[in-house]
Amino acid sequence: MLLKSLKIQNFRQFIGEQEIDFAYDDDKKITVILGKNTSGKTTLIKSFKWILYGVSDFETEDLINIPVASNMEPGDKEKVKGEIELKHKNTWYIIRREQDYFMTNSGDVKPENTRLIIQYKTEEGKYDFLRTSDHIDTINKILPEDLSDYFFFHGEQVKEIGANRRDGKKNITEAVESILGLEVINSAIKHLSGGPKISVIGKLKNQIDTSDNEELEYNKKLLAEKEEALENIQREISDYQNTIEFLEQEIDELNDKIRDNKPTRNLKNRINDNEIQIKEKIEKKSEKINKITDLISQKSPMYFMQPLLSRSINLLNNFEGFEESIPEMHANSINYILNNRKTCICGTKIEEGSEAFKNLIEFKRYLPPESIGTVVRLFLKDVRYNSTDGQEFYEDVITLIREVRFLNEEIKELESQNAKLSQEIENKPDVGVLEKEVNSKSEKLQSRKKKLEQKISEKGKLERDLEEIDKEIKKLAKNSEKNRFTLHCLDYAKSINARFEEHYNKLESKTRKKLEERTNEIFNKIYHGERNIKLKNNYEYYLETPEITSAALQDKADKSEGLKTVASFSFIAGIVSLAREKIYNQKSDEVEGYEPEPYPLVMDAPFSDTDEEHIKNISEVIPEVAEQTIMIIMEKDWKYAKDVLRNEVNKLYDMEKRSETKTFIQGGEIVSV
Amino acid sequence: MEEKDFKIDEAKSKRLIKKILDLENENLKTKKYSRSEMSDKIIDFIKEEVRKCY
């Protein structure tokens, strides 16, 4: 696949129709599109994916240019369009996607119909429309969607792709194999043995004639049922395997996060401890305030009466009536002697009218309740007692207020500590939550593994059953000549299929080995360190660090962002470079008719996080690996790449950002830079 | 009914492999046949070869 042109109309910030003709079929193979930050570099890359696959992953949903949408009136229609002209396997294609927008009566701009139109050039040189049912298949043959992230290489995003499939969705094995020429054999295998209903083997089995043979009829039915069950089980096994791989990757990722955030956990613990202390101190403070309130309600009147009481004491201290009275004696005591006892405590008989009687009657006047002296004395006693109480109240209240103030300061200090600690852990994950997630995912993982084991064992049993039924059918079908012929065809189909599978496995392993070698050749031209790139069976890659002997720890070795970019670039450049070569020997590999296919490198911010030296190194590699290169790049990075690529650039465009919603693409003429 | 001798000939099977690959290559370019149609075409090739193997 080589790209001829891209047209976009009202697509995001690209207002009106914007067109780029790419350097194509020329000695100079590079198109450079310069753009400042936020001018729409990534949008341009994303426009390819929208046109080809209908995928748009922008933060805001609408594709339509904002000023265009703002100028619409209720009932108006506008279009967002994108068109790519390309050549694949010597066939020219025009792939166009359109999205209608409509303004409702309430003034909302809503997306309406979306259309994909694919035209291809026939041998007569006319453009014909491709059947709608072939659209997806054709686009995936031209460029498999799972590989599109590599070919539309976005420096910021691509670092992790391929290195680890965290999203659990993309399996690039088939896509890489298709690009590298294995799709013909793959397709033949699919037609020969893919599925019991429409494959060659399935159809031949169905052609076995069962008329007048009930046993054969029964076995044929049984075979169909078991084959369907096997297909379902294989699908389930594949789902379980994907889920298991996905969960394992998620758990790994969570454990990495937990490890990276251990200090955060300590800080979080300190915050929790401080919060407990704050709570205790607030409770203590509340108790103290309650005590103060109680003291005020109980003792404050006496305290505030102190000046008045003091003056009363001074005044009453000069009272002279105290001498006549007997302390603690009451008039009732005299009344008792006079009326009941009738004998004084000294033994004198008390008779009414006697001298002693008269003395006692006189003495009663000095005793309470009649005696003022006694009342005054009792009052003074109370006043002196309460005066002490008032002084204590003051000291108690002052002490409590001091304690409350001290608690306030302590609470303030702890709160300020927590504010600082919270700032430190802001936007960092809660390790406790992560640990819970790990536990929950680990439980799920174990349960899925058990189910997978169960399904594998069910599959084994089904396969054995199918083998037996197959034998039985063969035995029963031999009685008719027509069926014998069908059985021979079936044997032949199986034998050819086995040959294809054998070739496929041989070529697949050869392809993977070659891709690994090529990727490392490119990587070593850019990166001059100890590491190298290893490809796993499923075409995921990882950086191998020679001094780390444990395979499990290889992925944990530190990698800079720049190194990740270089590794991703090397991997995709390896695929692009290999795709344009004839990597199979037609005679020994039996890949008849396989023609290599060139692919472009379309790169947005390819030098993100790489230093000046690596920019130059990558730039040196680009013309060697790709038949066509399209670089959407910032001026600051172009400054370094220009020195190396000046003789390779054919077309230079500039993305002119006139406002946040209006970008124009200018230039395009053949340039000397 | 008498059973005819049947033997898969190596050279003939190579010829069949080539025919299938040619068909696959052609269809990858032209997208002329559906999956089921492709299977039918291959079955025709196989039947033709099997007839020659007796």
* Residue A364 domain flag: yes
Alpha carbon distance A307, A291 (integer Å): 25
Residue A553's pLDDT is 62
The shortest CB-CB distance from A496 to any of B13, B24, B36 is to: B13
Q: How near does any CA of chain A get to the CA of B52, in Å?
A: 11
Residue A427's pLDDT is 80
- Where does A72-213 have alpha helices with state H? 135-142, 145-151, 173-179, 183-193, 200-206
Q: Could you write out the three-class secondary structure of A265-283?
A: HHHHHHHHHHHHHHHHHHH
Q: Is the pLDDT of residue A196 over 70?
A: yes
Structure pTM? 0.62
Contacts of B25 in chain A (CB under 8 A): 184, 592-594
Q: Do B39 and A200 touch (CB under 8 A)?
A: yes
Average pLDDT over residues A189-213: 90
Q: What percent of chain A has pLDDT over 90?
A: 39
Of A227, A196, A222, A212, nearest in space to A473 by CA: A222
| Containing structural domain, residue B49 | 10-53
| Containing structural domain, residue A356 | 275-411
CA geometry: angle at B49 spanning B45 and B53, to 5°? 165
Confidence of residue A203 (pLDDT cuts 50, 70, 90): very high
Contacts of A480 in chain B (CB under 8 A): 1
Residue A167's pLDDT is 43
Of A584, A579, A620, A609, nearest in space to A596 by CA: A579
Q: Which residue of A has its CA nearest to B51?
A: A485
Alpha carbon distance A100, A109 (integer Å): 10
Q: Do B6 and A488 touch (CB under 8 A)?
A: yes
Q: Is the pLDDT of residue A4 over 90?
A: yes
Q: What rounded mean pLDDT belongs to chain A?
A: 85
Q: Which residue of A has its CA nearest to B8?
A: A492
* Residue A315 domain flag: yes
- Total domains in the fold of chain A: 1
Residue A195's pLDDT is 80
Residue B53's pLDDT is 75
Cβ–Cβ < 8 Å for A8, A82 = yes
Residue-wise over A454-479: b if at least 16 C-beta within 10 A, else e?
ebeeebeebeeebeebeebbbebbee
Q: How near does any CA of chain A get to the CA of B7, in Å?
A: 9
Confidence of residue A466 (pLDDT cuts 50, 70, 90): very high
Cβ–Cβ < 8 Å for A645, A617 = no
Contacts of A588 in chain B (CB under 8 A): none
Alpha carbon distance A177, A168 (integer Å): 19
Q: What is the CA radius of gyration of chain A?
A: 48
Q: What percent of chain A has pLDDT over 70?
A: 90
Helices and strands, counts by H and E, chain B? 2, 0
Question: Any bridge partners for residue A98, and if so which?
Answer: A81, A115
- ipTM for the assembly: 0.92
Alpha carbon distance A256, A572 (integer Å): 27
Residue A578's pLDDT is 83
* Residue B22 domain flag: yes
Q: Does A200 touch chain B (CB under 8 A)?
A: yes
Q: Do B20 and A488 touch (CB under 8 A)?
A: no
pLDDT digits over A229-263, tens only? 998 999 999 999 989 988 998 998 899 888 888 88
Alpha carbon distance A128, A142 (integer Å): 17
Confidence of residue A342 (pLDDT cuts 50, 70, 90): confident
Average pLDDT over residues A201-214: 90
Q: Which residue of B has its CA nearest to A91?
A: B29
Residue of A499 and A151 predicted with greater confidence? A499
Chain A window 54-113: which residues touch B at a Cβ cutoff of 8 Å?
89-91
pLDDT digits over A21-71, tens only? 998 877 888 999 999 888 888 899 889 999 999 988 776 778 999 999 999
Residue A379's pLDDT is 80
Alpha carbon distance A617, A101 (integer Å): 45
- Total domains in the fold of chain B: 1
Cβ–Cβ < 8 Å for A448, A247 = yes
Q: Is the pLDDT of residue A178 over 80?
A: no
Residue A672's pLDDT is 58
* Residue B48 domain flag: yes
Helix (H, G, I), strand (E, B) or coil at A62: coil
Residue A437's pLDDT is 94
Q: Do A188 and B25 touch (CB under 8 A)?
A: no
Q: Is the pLDDT of residue A19 over 90?
A: yes
Residue A455's pLDDT is 96
Average pLDDT over residues A88-97: 92
Q: Which residue of B has its CA nearest to A207?
A: B43
The shortest CB-CB distance from B46 to any of A141, A478, A492 is to: A492
pLDDT digits over A603-651, tens only? 887 777 778 888 888 888 888 888 899 999 888 888 888 888 888 888 9
Query: What's at A386, amino acid-wise?
Result: N
pLDDT digits over A474-494, tens only? 899 888 888 999 999 999 999
Q: Which residues touch A494 (CB under 8 Å, ≥6 apart)? A: A201
A91-103 vs A77-88, strand pairing mode: antiparallel
A628-633 vs A30-35, strand pairing mode: parallel
Alpha carbon distance A395, A386 (integer Å): 15
Interface test with B, best of A129, A200, A495, A502 (most B CBs within 10 A): A200
Residue A165's pLDDT is 44
Alpha carbon distance A331, A339 (integer Å): 12
Q: At what angle do helices A481-526 and A431-477 cross, to 10 degrees?
A: 150
Residue A164's pLDDT is 45
Residue A601's pLDDT is 86
Confidence of residue B4 (pLDDT cuts 50, 70, 90): low
Residue A257's pLDDT is 86
* Residue A402 domain flag: yes
Confidence of residue A166 (pLDDT cuts 50, 70, 90): very low
Among the listed ranges A327-336, A604-613, A647-656, which one has the minimum average pLDDT value? A604-613
**B43 to each of A190, A225, A497, how far by Cα in Å?**
14, 23, 12
> How far separated are the first and last CA of chain B, in Å rounded?
15
Q: Do A592 and B46 touch (CB under 8 A)?
A: no
Confidence of residue A154 (pLDDT cuts 50, 70, 90): low
* Residue A308 domain flag: yes
* Residue A638 domain flag: no
Contacts of B6 in chain A (CB under 8 A): 488, 491
Contacts of A485 in chain B (CB under 8 A): 47, 50
The shortest CB-CB distance from A495 to any of B8, B31, B42 is to: B8
Residue of A665 and A429 predicted with greater confidence? A665
* Residue B1 domain flag: no
Contacts of A139 in chain B (CB under 8 A): none
* Residue B17 domain flag: yes
The shortest CB-CB distance from B25 to any of A90, A198, A593 is to: A593
* Residue B4 domain flag: no
Q: How many CB pairs under 8 A join A and B?
A: 94
